[in-house]
Amino acid sequence: MGNRRTKKSGADLKKEIEDEMARVRLDYKRDYKETAFVSYDYITRLLTSTQPINKLRDSLRADQSTPEFEGYPRRKGLKNLERDVKQKAPKLYSVLLLVGKPQRIGQLLRDNVTDEIFGQVEGGVGPSCPKKYLRRCRHFQGIAEDFYQMQWHIPPILSDESHQIYPVECFRFPFVAAPEYIARGSFGHVHTVTIAKGHLRTNDYDQEPIVAYKMVKKDDDVTWDKLLREVETIRVRRHDNIVPLLASFSAGRENPLEKYCKKESLHMLFPHTKAGDMKAWLERDSWPQDLRNEEARRTYIFETIQGLVSGVAFIHREIQNRIAFHHDLKPSNILLFERTGSRPMWKICDFGNANLRDRDDTETVKTKDNVFGTYVYKPPEYFVKKEGEQPKHGRPFDVYSLGCVCLDLATILKFVVGLKIRSTYTMGTRNRIPLNPITLFTTIRRSSSVGSIISRKDAKEAVPTS
């Protein structure tokens, strides 16, 4: 009886992996994209389970009884083989199970072939186990093609260390369910998505499974280069007031519209916040409970402005002989992140219009194919074109936009939320050139609708209480 269980245990382990993939396919459906996968977390739990039986040990015992099992020193024993698989080759053994050749694990471990084979980058593609390596390695003789295809059933670990490139036709997304739409950003829509446990490794990730996900289709090389600038801008600029890039990679479409779609896309993962953006915060009807006190409001607004100035200065800083600029600073591109035990933090996001420049070339030319910024946050010189010249805009563009954001904050500090003071800012849209911030602030002060508020001795009367 025990012998029969041993002989079929390897097949049982394979079936459990296949059953898990079938379950994932039910939760994460796409018409023209294979979504079934198994996570590292699942593989770890499966191979370390000892109740009601030690499944891995039984599977390895069955492998040892086959003629193909060779190479692993018998003197090391079954327990050492089990330990080596758990510690050095859980993915390798799982893929071997899926291709029906788990017994080859002995010779592979003997020659120090471990999960490190999945960390190779060849021809810019990876990390993965390349076909060239598999065809060259004698241990994969006869199964190289199947092994290459099956490795994607356990998706790679996404990382913030570098931009990763994966084959369009093979890559499987480590998403627990289909992404859910939340907003539109530069070049693409933003969704929330749950990442399978163990498939995202980054210093800025606190293991919250839900992240913000942005996918942008590759339509032409010019746009693609601009998208990769966004990736590079954020990756090397880590700052408390800049939304960090958790991972970026190139692969196929997450939800293609046709079978065998080979179109490439850029995929980016960011921290997700439920607290919203500054635009919504500026337009709320009342102050948050912890900002009902005038001094608390003043301190909070000043700290917010200080943080944003620091963040923009860091974007402009020369890093690796290059400087950057955002080119679309505005309240809707500033997100609020709540933090346990401390005051919420505002962070700059959406670098879709960002640019990287050599330190000797610090400006961008505005052309019909290179339009950037949001109308009421653009500096006046953006709209002025001298004959025979192409207008160029660099860091001063961001400084003006930041000044407008600071003016937004200063205005609600002075005139409180809920009195629709911000409608005055839209006056700039009636003219070809937006108003100068000083002129704009003077206009607000002279407004009859707020004159009485300015003259009040007791400012608390103007603050909504609910």
Q: Does residue 199 register a pLDDT over 60?
A: yes
Q: How distant, in Å, are the alpha carbons of 59, 196, 339, 414 from that of 208?
A: 34, 11, 13, 38
Taking the CA atoms of residue 123, residue 129, residue 130 and residue 135 in that order, the dihedral angle to the nearest 10 degrees is: 150
Query: What pLDDT, on the 0 to 100 scale, is given for residue 434?
Result: 46
Q: Residues 263, 285: one domain?
A: no
Any idea which residue has 């003077």 for tokens? Answer: 442
- Cα 403 to Cα 409: distance, rounded to the nearest angstrom: 10
Q: Does residue 84 register a pLDDT over 80?
A: yes
Whether 174 is in a domain gets the answer no
Length of the chain: 466
Q: How confident is the model at residue 209 (pLDDT cuts 50, 70, 90)?
A: confident
Final residue of a structural domain among 271, 301, 322: 271
Query: What pLDDT, on the 0 to 100 scale, is given for residue 107?
Result: 93
Q: Does residue 283 register a pLDDT over 50?
A: yes
Q: Does residue 433 register a pLDDT over 50?
A: no
- Cα 248 to Cα 235: distance, rounded to the nearest angstrom: 9
Q: Residues 450, 363: one domain?
A: yes
Q: How distant, in Å, are the alpha carbons of 78, 85, 205, 371 from that of 198?
A: 28, 18, 12, 40
Nearest to 237 by CA among 313, 184, 170, 298: 313
Q: Does residue 368 register a pLDDT over 50?
A: no
Q: Does residue 222 register a pLDDT over 70?
A: no
- Residue 74's Cβ-side half-sphere holds a number of Cα atoms within 13 Å equal to 4
Q: Does residue 204 register a pLDDT over 70?
A: no
Q: Does residue 374 register a pLDDT over 60?
A: yes
Whether 164 is in a domain gets the answer no
Q: Residues 286, 261: one domain?
A: no
Q: Is 345 helix (H, G, I), strand (E, B) or coil?
A: strand
pTM: 0.81
- 274 within 8 A of 238, measured Cβ to Cβ: no
Higher pLDDT, 376 or 388: 376
Query: What pLDDT, on the 0 to 100 scale, is given for residue 234?
Result: 80
CATH number of the domain within which 221 lies: 3.30.200.20
Cα dihedral sign for 170, 156, 32, 249? negative
Whether 169 is in a domain gets the answer no
Burial (CB count <10 Å: 0-12, 13-18, 19+), residue 335: buried
Looking at residue 175, what DSSP letter applies?
A: B
Phi, psi (rounded to 5 degrees) for 366: -90, 120
Highest-confidence range of 6-15, 113-122, 280-289, 290-299, by mean pLDDT?
Answer: 113-122
- Cα 83 to Cα 246: distance, rounded to the nearest angstrom: 32
- Cα 227 to Cα 217: distance, rounded to the nearest angstrom: 10
Whether 170 is in a domain gets the answer no
Whether 424 is in a domain gets the answer yes
- Cα 372 to Cα 185: distance, rounded to the nearest angstrom: 13
Q: Residues 147, 217: one domain?
A: no
Query: What pLDDT, on the 0 to 100 scale, is given for residue 379?
Result: 84
Whether 28 is in a domain gets the answer yes
Which residues, 6 or more positions from 367, have their beta carbon under 8 angstroms from its beta carbon? 390
Question: What b/e sequence results for 201-212 when a residue is b if at least 16 CB atoms lie within 10 Å of its CB, and e otherwise?
Answer: ebeebeeeeebb
Q: What is the pLDDT of residues 311-341, one digit of tens each?
A: 999 999 988 777 888 888 999 999 999 877 7
Q: Does residue 307 register a pLDDT over 90?
A: yes
Q: Residues 90, 130: one domain?
A: yes
- Cα 288 to Cα 304: distance, rounded to the nearest angstrom: 15
- In degrees, to the nearest 5, what angle opens at C-alpha 228 toward C-alphas 182 and 251? 70
Q: Is 96 helix (H, G, I), strand (E, B) or coil?
A: helix
CATH number of the domain within which 371 lies: 1.10.510
Query: What pLDDT, on the 0 to 100 scale, is given for residue 237?
Result: 87
Q: Region 186-196: what's the mean pLDDT?
A: 85
Q: Residues 286, 432: one domain?
A: yes
The H-assigned helical ranges of 100-143 are 105-110, 131-136
Query: What pLDDT, on the 0 to 100 scale, is given for residue 384?
Result: 74
Looking at residue 155, what DSSP letter applies?
A: P
Q: Residues 214, 327: one domain?
A: no
Distance, CA of 464 to chain centre: 38
Query: What pLDDT, on the 0 to 100 scale, is given for residue 386?
Result: 66
Query: What pLDDT, on the 0 to 100 scale, is given for residue 354?
Result: 56
Q: Residues 132, 184: one domain?
A: no
Q: Does residue 95 register a pLDDT over 80?
A: yes
Q: Region 144-161: what's the mean pLDDT?
A: 96
Q: Region 279-298: what's the mean pLDDT?
A: 83
Query: What pLDDT, on the 0 to 100 scale, is given for residue 167?
Result: 95
Query: What pLDDT, on the 0 to 100 scale, is given for residue 445?
Result: 42
- Cα 94 to Cα 101: distance, rounded to the nearest angstrom: 10
Q: Could you give the maximum distance between any two Cα atoms of the chain, in Å? A: 94
Q: Does residue 451 register a pLDDT over 60?
A: no
Q: Residues 250, 325: one domain?
A: no
Q: How confident is the model at residue 8 (pLDDT cuts 50, 70, 90)?
A: low
Query: What pLDDT, on the 0 to 100 scale, is given for residue 235?
Result: 86
- Cα 442 to Cα 379: distance, rounded to the nearest angstrom: 18
Nearest to 96 by CA among 145, 147, 48: 147
Whether 163 is in a domain gets the answer no
Crossing angle for the helix pair 40-48 and 55-64, to the nearest 10 degrees: 80
Higher pLDDT, 393 or 296: 296
Q: Determine which helix (DSSP H) or strand (DSSP E) holds 120, and give its type and residue range.
A: strand 120-122
Higher pLDDT, 148 or 415: 148
Mean pLDDT estimate for the chain: 81
Nearest to 307 by CA among 273, 279, 349, 347: 347
Q: Does residue 69 register a pLDDT over 90?
A: no
Q: Region 162-171: what's the mean pLDDT?
A: 93
Query: What pLDDT, on the 0 to 100 scale, is given for residue 440?
Result: 47
Q: Residues 265, 381: one domain?
A: no
Higher pLDDT, 71 or 194: 194
Final residue of a structural domain among 214, 246, 271: 271
Any idea which residue has 């040892």 for tokens? Answer: 64
Give the domain extent around 53: 2-154
Number of neighbours of residue 368 by Cβ within 10 angstroms:
5
For the chain, how many structural domains are there in total?
Answer: 3
- Cα 157 to Cα 176: distance, rounded to the nearest angstrom: 14
Looking at residue 152, what DSSP letter applies?
A: G
Query: What pLDDT, on the 0 to 100 scale, is given for residue 289?
Result: 82
Q: Is 128 helix (H, G, I), strand (E, B) or coil?
A: strand
Q: Does residue 363 register a pLDDT over 90?
A: no
Of 121-125, 260-264, 265-269, 379-383, the one with minimum mean pLDDT is 379-383
Q: Residues 322, 260: one domain?
A: no
- Cα 38 to Cα 42: distance, rounded to the nearest angstrom: 6
Query: What pLDDT, on the 0 to 100 scale, is given for residue 4?
Result: 46
- Cα 35 to Cα 29: distance, rounded to the nearest angstrom: 7
Q: Does residue 6 register a pLDDT over 70?
A: no
Q: Residues 331, 436: one domain?
A: yes
Query: What pLDDT, on the 0 to 100 scale, is given for residue 357?
Result: 52
Whether 332 is in a domain gets the answer yes
Query: What pLDDT, on the 0 to 100 scale, is given for residue 337?
Result: 93
Phi, psi (rounded to 5 degrees) for 3: -65, -40
Q: Determine which helix (DSSP H) or strand (DSSP E) holds 234, and give its type and residue range.
A: helix 221-235
Crossing angle for the helix pair 55-64 and 77-88, to the nearest 10 degrees: 120
